[in-house]
């Protein structure tokens, strides 16, 4: 009786509860990497490093160049962080698909391995 209750749970609620974990995993990764904030501040200067120019033309040119470099560094770092979050989300999706495929085969694999171990 207990084995039948386990199999009923395993092939119904257990299987779907494993699938239902995908949404929270993706959400945790999305907000853990702060993707909305990174996307909103994609072209902001890196660590708010801004040079204010006071003086002649060469000083202003150097300040503009420093600000452009700071924005480029910020863009690259934020872009790689968003890309990393995207790669991890793809990993979670592939893992969920693998789990959905392997989940129903695990009890059968256990029985087959016991039989092969006895022989």
**HEC sequence for the chain:** CHHHHHHHHHHCHHHHHHHHCHHHHHHHHHHHCCHHHHHHCCCCCHHHCCCCCCCCHHHHHHHHHHHHHHHHHHHHHHHHHHHHHHHHHHHHHHHHHHHHHHHHHHHHHHHHHHHHHHC
Enumerate residues 6+ apart whose C-beta is below 8 A from 57. Answer: none
- State the angle between helix axes of 22-32 and 57-102 in degrees (0 to 180), rounded to the nearest 10: 170
Output the pLDDT for position 119.
65
Output the pLDDT for position 82.
96
Number of domains composing the chain? 1
Output the pLDDT for position 32.
95
Domain span at 62: 2-118
| pLDDT under 50: residue ranges of the chain | none
């Amino acid at each position: 009786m207990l084995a039948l209750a386990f199999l009923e749970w395993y092939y119904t609620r257990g299987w779907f509860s494993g699938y239902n974990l995908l949404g929270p995993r993706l959400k945790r990764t999305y907000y853990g990497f702060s993707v909305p904030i990174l996307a909103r501040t994609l072209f902001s200067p890196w660590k708010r490093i801004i040079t204010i120019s006071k003086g002649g033309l060469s000083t202003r040119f150097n300040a503009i160049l420093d600000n452009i470099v700071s924005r480029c560094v910020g863009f690259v770092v934020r872009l790689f962080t968003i890309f990393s979050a995207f790669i991890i989300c793809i990993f979670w999706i592939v893992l969920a698909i693998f789990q959905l495929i392997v989940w129903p085969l695990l009890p059968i694999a256990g029985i087959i391995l016991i039989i092969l171990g006895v022989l």
